[in-house]
Structure 1
Amino acid sequence: MNPDPEIIVIRKKKDPMTRHFASPASYPDLFTLLVASALILGFEVTAGILPESWPFLARLGLLRLIQCAALFGLLRARGFSLSAAGLDPRRHGAGLKAGLTGCALMALFAFAAGSALWLWGMDPLRMIRVTLPADPLNLTLFFVVGGLIAPVAEELFFRGFLFGYLKQFGWIPALCISTAAFALVHPGVHIPQWIGGFAFGLAYGLSGSLVAPMVIHACGNIVLFTLSMLARHSFF
């Protein structure tokens, strides 16, 4: 028996990049984003108040931790839950799984791209090599701050706040603008930052969890630092 055509309901498939951001309450509003941006800039400008006797990387790590605390405090003050910045505890497991999957895919992409460049007579390590501190203390701080603390702080703002706010206008503008902002605030050659920013935004949009880009970002940085350290000691 055929169903009554008048009661047939056509269900539209949900866009996998929008299903996690269905309501305005699921992302920071414009005022919150502007205040977050002002806080980040303010902390950068006033970073000089930290004791100059401390190692630079120790001061940088503390600054990033303070920025994270300020952003979490801002969410609370504005009445948003952690899920507004992509940190819904119920999605941490899915985010971790997506992050590890993204790490594997990024590794395959990097291997393929590096192999292609090597076959063309180019040194791929020269394009991504990072200048590392020589002494053990600063080298350790470099891995801790650059490989763990900084990725968390950067993802919280660029994906959690900026991408999250822009998502209401469509995932393509959110992805492109957040990637450009992320790449342009980094000095020097931006190729790894453009690729990374795109991958981080894509991971966040698809998983709906900020854990995913945090994991990919941290793993990517640690791998870059490790390769640079090995290259410095002529392992390659």
Structure 2
Amino acid sequence: MNDDLIRLPDLVSEYARYYEVDTQEAAHALHELIKELYLEYSVRQGKVALPDHIFWVGRVGSSQRSNRIYKLFFEGLIKYFDDLCDPLPGIDKDLVRSYCESDSSTKDIPVGLIYLSRVALGEWILDAGIEPPDYMLIGNADKGAKGSEGGEKFQAKELGSISLIVNGLINLIKEVDKAHTEQPLDDASGKRADTIKRRALGLRSVRKNFDPCLAILSLAEAAEVEMPKSHKTLRKFMKGHFQGDEG
């Protein structure tokens, strides 16, 4: 099995080792992360099942897919991490509920048989506009100890953030152009266009304490464009490109 493919329990242990925390803290952090993904992909986009190119049921001792076709769901993953970070007596935390399409029934799958691609998971998180934990985008988590400055780490995490920013800025330009040139179809789209134009105009502020990164994220929110959620991430890559920035 290559370095990218890991079992579900390894996701927790790698997080704990990388950030030097205990299992419960790692499970809690991953529980919060999956809940964020649930809000984006399930609540907002209506996707209930987990992508099968990221999570799948393998075989004993092998990441090769099971002959049977299984679907895994957000609910099962959330419950698994929840049971780990807040264990209850009598609850088997080593099983995840799935649906077996091969015999049209629900199945409890041992967590050790659930595999995932660390890189694909990291990219999926980025696509949701969320910054993934560093080790998910690193070829080998053991090499990515906290504080490591390796080039591989930069290429994975940093370039992922840069890609999100560049694509976001391109889409922002398109949305601002539409707001100025296209005729609104109804009141809601008219209000949306007005908000986009108003927030775009705000980028020209001359206030001494003006934070352009916050203004860009505010514009992105109005335009419904994916950008890094933290203005600190944006500022990290745009430092020195705005009037008033030092260095």
Q: Note whether the superposition's TM-score is higher than 0.5.
A: no
Structure whose residues are more often strand by fraction: 2
Higher relative contact order (CA 8 A, sep 6+): 1
**TM-score normalised by the chain length of structure 1:** 0.28
